[in-house]
Amino acid sequence: MTQLPLDLPHLPALEREDFLVAACNRAAVAFLDRWPDWPAPALVIYGPAGCGKSHLARVWRARTGAAAIEPSALRDLDPLALLAETASVALDFAEQDVPALPEEEPLLHLYNLLAGRGGHLLICARGAPARWGIKLADLRSRLLAAPAIPVTTPDDDLLGALLVKLFTDRQMLVGTEILTYLLARMERSFAGARSLVEALDRASLVRQSGVTMALARAVLERQAERT
C-alpha cells in the first residue's frame, strides 16, 4: 500500500476537491464532470452504503443549482412547481437497495418535463435500475436507457485515505502505525470506515485521551463482538 496522505483539509468533506477519487468511483466522478453533456436526461449512480453517492449528489447540486427531492416527496410532487426555478433535480434513494417507487406517475411526469426542457435528473441508490421492479413501462424504459454508473468496493489505498480524511474532519490526530493497524482489521467498506471512526471518536471522548493502539484494539474488538 502507498504511504497514507496526511494533508487533507480540516473541514467536512462536502466539496468537489475534497472527494477522494479512486478506481472504484472514478467513472461516476467523470460522468458528473461531463454535465451538461450527458447522453440522456437521467443518470443513475449506485453502490454500497457510505460510498459517497450522496456526497457526489451534493457536489453536483452545488454546481448545477439542482433541486433535491426525497423519495417520500414523490407522492405529492408537483413537477411544474419544482421546475419553476431549476432545470435539474437530484433524487437520492440513499441506502435503499431496491428503491420503492409507490408513485411512479409523478416521477415519469418529472422525467418527461426535464427531458423536454433539456434538464437532467440524477438518481442515487444502492442497486442498479434493472433491479428496481418499475411497473410503468414508460418509466422503466426511460430509466433503463439512462447511464447507470456503479461505485464499487474500495481498495486499501482509498480506505486508508478515507480513514485519514474522516479523522481529520473530526480534528483527530492518529499516527500512521495506528492507521495501518486499523486498515488491516476493519470492515472492508466505506460504511465500516465511518462507523469505526465514529466509535473511536466516542471512545476517545469518554476516556478523554487520544486514539492509542490500546483504544483502537478495544474498539475493533467491540465491533467484532456485535457482528
- 183 with 203, same domain: the answer is yes
**pLDDT score, position 216:** 95
Q: Is the dihedral of CA 96, 131, 20, 178 positive or negative?
A: positive
**Is 103 a member of any domain?**
yes
**Is 188 a member of any domain?**
yes
| Mean pLDDT per 10-residue interval, the chain, length 227 residues | 33 54 89 94 90 86 92 86 92 69 84 96 92 91 96 86 91 94 90 91 92 95 85
C-alpha span between 120 and 44 (Å, rounded): 11
* Residue with cell string 452504503: 49
- 221 with 174, same domain: the answer is yes
Domain end residue (candidates: 109, 132, 150): 150
- 72 with 182, same domain: the answer is no
- 184 with 146, same domain: the answer is no
- 72 with 44, same domain: the answer is yes
Contact present, 125 and 99 (Cβ < 8 Å): yes
- 33 with 104, same domain: the answer is yes
Count structural domains, the chain.
2
Domain end residue (candidates: 118, 150, 182): 150
- 195 with 115, same domain: the answer is no
**pLDDT score, position 101:** 67
What is the domain extent for residue 99?
25-150
- 83 with 124, same domain: the answer is yes
Cell triple for 202: 466516542
**pLDDT score, position 160:** 92
- 38 with 138, same domain: the answer is yes
**Is 6 a member of any domain?**
no
**Is 133 a member of any domain?**
yes
- 108 with 215, same domain: the answer is no
**Is 14 a member of any domain?**
no
**Is 85 a member of any domain?**
yes
- 62 with 160, same domain: the answer is no
Domain with residue 87: its CATH number is 3.40.50.300
Domain end residue (candidates: 129, 150, 171): 150
**pLDDT score, position 227:** 67
Domain with residue 165: its CATH number is 1.10.8
C-alpha span between 124 and 147 (Å, rounded): 12
**Is 5 a member of any domain?**
no
**pLDDT score, position 219:** 95
**Is 205 a member of any domain?**
yes
